[in-house]
Structure 1
Amino acid sequence: MLSRPLRQTFALLAAAALTVTAAGCGSTDAVEASSAGDELEGATFVVGSKDFTENIMLGNIAVQLLKAHGAEVVDKVNLGGTVTNRKALMAGEIDLYWEYSGTGWIEHLKNTTPIQDPAEQFKATAGADLEKNGVRWIGPTPLNNTYALAIRTEKAQELGVKTVSDVAELARTKPEEVTICIETEFSTRDDGLPGLSKAYDMKIPKDRIALLDTGVVYTETDKGDTCNFGEVFTTDGRIAALGLTVLEDDKKFFPVYNAAVTIKDDLYKKHPALEKVLQPVIAKLDDATMQKLNARVDVDGEQPKKVSADWLEQNGFLGAAS
């Protein structure tokens, strides 16, 4: 295995620590919102988010944008995982958070087969969630933050793996090489390892599966000591920074994960201006943009609130400074 400079690993670990500190719920390093309009004057929203970098930044984007348009905002960004945020939304403990179409379709709506066309997947998810659960989806973004398996590039070349089918074959012929680092949530989701293993007829013993925090999955996959393969998000800036190779999902198991703001429909109807405020921002959030923003946090060690505010300001979404 080719070694990586130690300074790269230390920088990534430091950045991960900084991210946790800076993004924590109740953090005092708030970015002052500028004034972009008064469409939401008098409205109050409690904004949540999941606990990984991209969703934390999306949460911060929502907080800053809603404030800039006159709303009062209670910041509960970095609330927890998918289940925590969805339960909080349904219970009225938060008013909105960013969710992904594939997650809505598989996890919340309990479907087993994803729809490969992104537009159709979003339409089906949004329509069913509105009808069954009264949840409105505002979106979608162009970005598709789907799951993938990655491996350090030199090891991929050594093992001759390019697709997930190659990994399944390797699990049969050289099982000792198929060690995998994943998050706890990925270990239980139907669109995670259980479903992936079934779709590819891939058997990985439990003692070859390491459950780690998101950032550690990337660094351990890069080092190759704990695992050769790691669960990654395709819009994560650490993939390029660490020189990882993403393996092709050749059976197209993973759903499309376009992001959108989810909010209870009765609240949405009270504040229809949300659509006007959010859609221009949503339209700008593509894969390349999100990879760069994620890298500024996870690779460069910047604070999520600052990165989000910088991007909103650079794109003219915050208006004149207040």
Structure 2
Amino acid sequence: MRRLLCVLLTMLAFAAQGQAVVRVGSKADNEGAVLGQILLQVLRRDGVPVVDRTQLGPTSIVRRALLNGDLDVYPEYTGNAAFFFHRESDPAFRDAPKAYALAASLDLAAHRLVWLRPAPADNHWAIGVRGDVARAAKLATLDDFAHWVTRGGDVRLAGSAEFVESDAALPAFQSAYGFTLRGDQLLVLAGGDTSATIKAAAEGISGVNASMVYSTDGAIAVTGLTVLADPRHVEMVYQPAPVVREDVLRRYPAMRRSLEAAFQPLTVDVLRKLNARTQIDGEDPAVVARDFLRDAGLLR
């Protein structure tokens, strides 16, 4: 209630000054919180009146808020546009430039939403292997992993039920790369928390030496897991990008350059380090975002 009252007072204050407030949202997960704070702090730096609605909820809630006009900008992933528009089988979403171009054109035509240029990081489902195991077996790609498995490699993989069962995850990897993990080679954990599966692999819990991961997981940065490349592009590309209402961008056109400049340094390695600070160290996303922007020369 107190936060809602502050939001309303802020909006009334700017309305009295004749300035349109920009409502900045984000998803509730760690990475979403950091990305949302980056948007918020860059806009504040530029003197844009903002209201903080970051960590609003899951994709469905944040997306609906944007479509309904209750949010003005938030960070989204290019691959999610495939689900928004029921284009999951479109090969364009497995190629970074094409995925961005298609997401941008579909959302502009249907909803007058503008996708700004995405970060170079790609946050998709992947398989990570404990570093010493990967080095000993010379594992760098899922092709290598498939050969290792089919030759009788001693693998036990931890994953959520969704990862193990979803057609877009492990079954898709197995089909594309030609390997099969038996039931006794899988440890299925409740929920979708990758920090739990990564910890199991890193510490060898229950014989686990491989894990489902998201490629920008913070835990990867501190556990030394080797994330296997997906050269056959089984997974769609999930590059984070600011998505903004067209009328808001017209009102504040300079936000395009500012927000794109803030997202360009966000490589996979950078995002892993930022996520590690919130996921592992428990730091405030606002502090993590501020430090990132200062290090990038985008904030004093």
Q: Secondary structure at the match of 1:261?
A: strand
1:145 to 1:212, Cα distance in 2 relative to 1, 3 A: closer
1:205 to 1:90, Cα distance in 2 relative to 1, 3 A: farther
1:109 to 1:265, Cα distance in 2 relative to 1, 3 A: farther
Distance in structure 2 (CA, Å) of the matches to 1:138 and 1:195: 30
The alpha carbon displacement at 1:254 in A equals 1.7
1:283 to 1:157, Cα distance in 2 relative to 1, 3 A: closer
| Cα distance per residue 1:196-238 (max 9 Å; x no partner) | 4544465567894323323223222322325443222323342
The counterpart of 2:201, out of the listed 216, 221, 233, is 221
Work out whether 1:139 is the aligned partner of 2:120.
no
The aligned residue for residue 265 of structure 1 is 246
Of 202-211 and 93-102, more deviation after overlay is shown by: 202-211
Matches within 5 A, 1:139-178: 139-156=117-134, 162-165=140-143, 167=145, 177-178=155-156
The aligned residue for residue 17 of structure 1 is none
Distance in structure 2 (CA, Å) of the matches to 1:198 and 1:267: 44
The counterpart of 2:287, out of the listed 302, 306, 321, is 306
| Cα distance per residue 1:223-264 (max 9 Å; x no partner) | 232544322232334213102111232422122222211123
The aligned residue for residue 57 of structure 1 is 34
Distance in structure 2 (CA, Å) of the matches to 1:274 and 1:187: 41
The counterpart of 1:110, out of the listed 77, 87, 90, is 87
* Contact 2:158-2:200 within 8 A present in 1 as well: no
1:278 to 1:183, Cα distance in 2 relative to 1, 3 A: farther
The counterpart of 1:76, out of the listed 53, 69, 86, is 53
Work out whether 1:233 is the aligned partner of 2:214.
yes
1:107 to 1:177, Cα distance in 2 relative to 1, 3 A: farther
Work out whether 1:256 is the aligned partner of 2:246.
no
The aligned residue for residue 294 of structure 1 is 275
Q: Secondary structure at the match of 1:129?
A: helix
Work out whether 1:44 is the aligned partner of 2:21.
yes
Distance in structure 1 (CA, Å) of the matches to 2:227 and 2:199: 15
- The one-letter amino acid paired with 2:158 is I
Distance in structure 2 (CA, Å) of the matches to 1:174 and 1:44: 60
Work out whether 1:179 is the aligned partner of 2:157.
yes
Q: How large is the RMSD of aligned CA atoms in angstroms? A: 3.3
The aligned residue for residue 108 of structure 2 is 130
The aligned residue for residue 259 of structure 2 is 278
The aligned residue for residue 92 of structure 1 is 69
The alpha carbon displacement at 1:47 in A equals 2.0
* Contact 1:148-1:231 within 8 A present in 2 as well: yes
- The one-letter amino acid paired with 2:29 is F
- The one-letter amino acid paired with 2:279 is D
1:243 to 1:132, Cα distance in 2 relative to 1, 3 A: same
* Contact 1:50-1:79 within 8 A present in 2 as well: yes
* Contact 1:183-1:213 within 8 A present in 2 as well: no
Question: Paired residues, what number?
Answer: 279
Distance in structure 1 (CA, Å) of the matches to 2:223 and 2:238: 23
Q: Secondary structure at the match of 1:284?
A: coil
Q: Secondary structure at the match of 1:181?
A: strand
Name the % identity.
31
- The one-letter amino acid paired with 1:215 is S
Q: Secondary structure at the match of 2:205?
A: coil
Distance in structure 1 (CA, Å) of the matches to 2:295 and 2:146: 45
Of 135-144 and 202-211, more deviation after overlay is shown by: 202-211
The structure with higher relative contact order (CA 8 Å, sep 6+) is 1
1:154 to 1:287, Cα distance in 2 relative to 1, 3 A: closer
Distance in structure 2 (CA, Å) of the matches to 1:77 and 1:268: 19
Gaps of 5+ in 2: 4-17
The alpha carbon displacement at 1:90 in A equals 1.8
Distance in structure 2 (CA, Å) of the matches to 1:187 and 1:131: 36
The alpha carbon displacement at 1:191 in A equals 4.1
Distance in structure 1 (CA, Å) of the matches to 2:54 and 2:148: 40
Distance in structure 1 (CA, Å) of the matches to 2:68 and 2:181: 37
* Contact 1:170-1:178 within 8 A present in 2 as well: no
Q: Secondary structure at the match of 1:93?
A: coil
- The one-letter amino acid paired with 2:291 is D
| Cα distance per residue 1:77-107 (max 9 Å; x no partner) | 2223323322222233322211122222355
Q: Secondary structure at the match of 1:71?
A: coil
